[in-house]
Structure 1
Amino acid sequence: MKPDKTLLALAATVLLWSSAFPAIRVGLRGYGFAELSFLRLAVASLALAAVAPLLRIRWPARRDLLRIMFVGASGMSAYQLLLNWGELHVPAGTASMIVAVTPAISALLAAVFLSERLTLGKVTGSVVALAGAAVIALARGDTGYCTAAWAVVAAAGAQAAYHLGIKPLLRTYTGLEVAGYAMWAGTALVLPLAPAAIGAALHAPSGALLAAVYLGALPSAAGFVVWGYAVARLTVTAATAALYLVPVATLAVAFVWLGERPQPVELLGGALTVVGVALAGRRGAGRARDAACAEGQKAPPVRV
C-alpha cells in the first residue's frame, strides 16, 4: 500500500520542528544565543531565497512592508533571541512545552486587538495553558532557570504576536510567502550580529556549526515548505491537531539526542499547557475551518 504523501509531510514537519529544540542546545555549546539566532535566520533566508523562484514566491506590495517588518521582528528576530537565551538554562523538552502555550496567547491577543469573540472555552483553555507554563517556569528554585523559563514564555508571546500580525497578510499572500517575507525581514533586523556570529563560526566546534546549519536549512526553511504542502491538503483542524505532537516528539528526541529527563512537575505543566491549548481551540473549530477555506488561509504554523 502506497504511503499517504500528506501524512508523511505532516510527520516530517513534526519531526523537524521537534528536533529544533535539542539542536538549539547543541548550537549553544559553540555560540552565544544572539550569534546562533543570526546564523539560523541567515541560513534559512538563503535557503528560502534559493528556492523562491521554484515556489513562485511573489514580491510583496510596498504598502505591506511595515507589517512585514513587524512580523519579522516579532516572529523571527525576537522569537529566536528569546528562545535561544531561554535554552541556555531550560532543557529542550521543557522549552517545547512552554512554547506550546502560543495558541492560547494568540487567542487572547486576537480578542483584545481584533475583537474576536472570546468564548468560555477559549478563556478556560487559555487560563489552563498559561497556568501550565507558569508551573514549568516555577518548577525549579534556581533563579537562572526561572528567568530563562520566563524568557521562553516571552518567546511564545512574540510568536503569538506574529500570528496576530500575519492575519491581514494571509488575505493577499500564501502562507509560504508570508513566512519567507518574515524570515528575510527578521534576518535583516539582526544583521548587526553578523560580524560576531561569523567570527564565532570560525572557532566553534564542528557539532555546534552543524547544528546551526541544520536549524536554518531544515526546521526553519524545509519545515515551512513541507508544512505548506501538508496544510494545503488538510483541514485547519487536522493540521493544527498534529502540532500538539511537537512537545511529545521533542521529549523523545531530546532524550535520545541529549539524554534529557524532565522533572515530573515539568511534565505536569506541559500536560496542562497542551490540554489548555486543545480546550481553547476546540470550540469554533468548524467555523475557523470554513473561514479558512473561504479565504484560502491555512492554520498558522508553530514557530520553532
Structure 2
Amino acid sequence: MNPHLTSPRLLALAGTVVLWASAFPAIRVGVDGLGLAALSFLRLAVAALALLVIAPFAGVRLPRKRDLPLICLCGLSGMTAYQILLNWGEIHVEAGTASLLIAIAPVFSVLLAGVFLSEPLTRNVVAGSVIALAGTAVVTLAEGFAGFSLASLVVLAAAVVQGVYHFASKPLLRHYSGLEVASYAMVAGTVFALPLMPMTVTAVTDAPAGALGAAVFLGLLPSALGFVIWGYAVARLPMAASTAALYLVPPVALLVSFVWLGETPHPLELLGGAVSVAGVVLINRRKPAAAGTETDVAAPEPVAPRTAARPSA
C-alpha cells in the first residue's frame, strides 16, 4: 500500500469528509426522534463540552475581549442558527438533497467578503457564483414546482448563515487557530441555544435510543472531532488539497444516505449538485502565484478555507 495514502494527515482529511458527510443522515435520525429544538441544543452542548475538555491539551487560549462581538456573531450564525435551520429543513428535505444545497454556502461567504471586506469580486467569483446558484435552482426544482417546498428555502437559509459564519470568522483567523475559533463559536452557539433547554429536557425523557445516539454522534464526531482532525490536516497539507477534499462531502453524503436511510436522489438533483460544486470550484480558482501565496500564509495554522462546508453539516 502506498505509504502516502495512509499518512496521518491524509487519513485525517478523509475522516473529516466522512464525518461531515455522515452528519446529514444522522440529522434525519435525530430529528425524527428528538424533534427540532432538542436535537439542535444537544448537538451544540455535546460538541461544546467535548471541545472545552480538550481545550487545555490543544493549547486553546482565552479570546480577547474586543473579539467577543465577532465570536458571538460566529456562534449565533454558524452554530445556533445553522443547526436550527438545517435540522428544520431536514424534517422534510432528504439528507442527500440537503448536502447538495448546503454546498453553496461558500458562494455567500465570498460575496459577503467582497462587499464588507473589500475582497476583489473577480470574473471567476462572479461566474462561479452564478453557476453555483443555477445548480442550486436545479436541485430545488428537480421534481418540478410541485416538489418545491418551504423546507428547501430553510436549508438554503442554513447555507446563508454558514456563509456568514465563514465571513465573520475570517478576521478572527488572523489571530487564532481554526480550532480556537471553532471552540469559541461552539460555546457561544450553545449559550444562544439555552432557551431550547426546557424543550430538550422534555424531549429526552421519551426519545428513542437511536435518536439520542444520533445526537451524541453529531456532537462528538462531526462537530468536535471533525474540527480537530480538520485543523490537523489543513495545518499539514497544501490549501488546494484541503479545499478539493471538501468537494467530496456532497457525494459521500449521498452515498451514506443511500446506505443508512435508503434515500435515492433524483437524477436532476445530482446534476444540479454537480453544477453547484463546479461553480464553487471556479470561485476558488487562483492564479499560480496567488495560490502559492495564500497557501504559504494559511498553512501554519489550522484555518478552515472559505470553501469549508461547516463543520458541520
TM, length-normalised to structure 1: 0.96
The alignment partner of 1:57 has SS state of: coil
Is 2:309 the partner of 1:302? Answer: yes
Q: Shift of the alpha carbon at 1:290?
A: 1.7
Distance across 1 between alignment mates of 2:66 and 2:288: 32
Which residue does 1:19 correspond to in 2? 22
2:242 is matched with which residue: 236, 239, 260?
239
Q: Shift of the alpha carbon at 1:287?
A: 2.0
Distance across 1 between alignment mates of 2:184 and 2:94: 30
Q: Shift of the alpha carbon at 1:237?
A: 1.0
Which residue does 2:170 correspond to in 1? 167
The alignment partner of 1:240 has SS state of: helix
1:253-272 aligned at under 5 Å gives the runs 253-272=256-275
Which residue does 2:226 correspond to in 1? 223
Distance across 2 between alignment mates of 1:249 and 1:291: 28
The alignment partner of 2:128 has SS state of: helix
1:119-169 CA-partner distances (Å, limit 9, x unpaired) = 111111111101111221222357685211111111111011111111111
Q: Shift of the alpha carbon at 1:293?
A: 2.8
Q: Is the 8 A contact 1:237 1:289 kept in 2?
A: no
Which residue does 2:205 correspond to in 1? 202
The alignment partner of 1:25 has SS state of: helix
Q: Shift of the alpha carbon at 1:14?
A: 0.4
Distance across 1 between alignment mates of 2:163 and 2:248: 19
1:241-278 CA-partner distances (Å, limit 9, x unpaired) = 00000001001100000000011111111111111111
Q: Is the 8 A contact 2:141 2:147 kept in 1?
A: no
Distance across 2 between alignment mates of 1:198 and 1:14: 32
The alignment partner of 1:135 has SS state of: helix
For structure 2, the 5+ residue unaligned runs are none
Q: Is the 8 A contact 2:112 2:167 kept in 1?
A: yes
TM-aligned CA distance change 1:201 to 1:251, over 3 Å: same
Which residue does 1:50 correspond to in 2? 53
Stretch deviating more after TM superposition (180-189 or 285-294): 285-294
Letter in 1 for 2:126: V
TM-aligned CA distance change 1:88 to 1:106, over 3 Å: same
Is 2:191 the partner of 1:188? Answer: yes
Q: Is the 8 A contact 2:135 2:274 kept in 1?
A: yes
Which residue does 1:287 correspond to in 2? 290
Distance across 1 between alignment mates of 2:225 and 2:260: 21
The alignment partner of 1:54 has SS state of: helix
Which residue does 2:156 correspond to in 1? 153
Distance across 1 between alignment mates of 2:23 and 2:152: 17
Q: Shift of the alpha carbon at 1:294?
A: 2.7
1:35-61 CA-partner distances (Å, limit 9, x unpaired) = 211110001011111111111111001
2:76 is matched with which residue: 73, 85, 110?
73
1:208-243 CA-partner distances (Å, limit 9, x unpaired) = 110011000000000000101100101111101000
Distance across 2 between alignment mates of 1:43 and 1:290: 37
Q: Shift of the alpha carbon at 1:102?
A: 1.1
The number of aligned residues is: 304
Distance across 1 between alignment mates of 2:145 and 2:201: 33
For structure 1, the 5+ residue unaligned runs are none
Letter in 2 for 1:299: A
Stretch deviating more after TM superposition (155-164 or 2-11): 2-11
Is 2:137 the partner of 1:130? Answer: no
Q: Is the 8 A contact 2:76 2:189 kept in 1?
A: yes
TM, length-normalised to structure 2: 0.93
Is 2:34 the partner of 1:63? Answer: no
Q: Shift of the alpha carbon at 1:195?
A: 1.4
Distance across 2 between alignment mates of 1:46 and 1:284: 41
1:55-134 aligned at under 5 Å gives the runs 55-134=58-137
Q: Is the 8 A contact 2:81 2:161 kept in 1?
A: yes
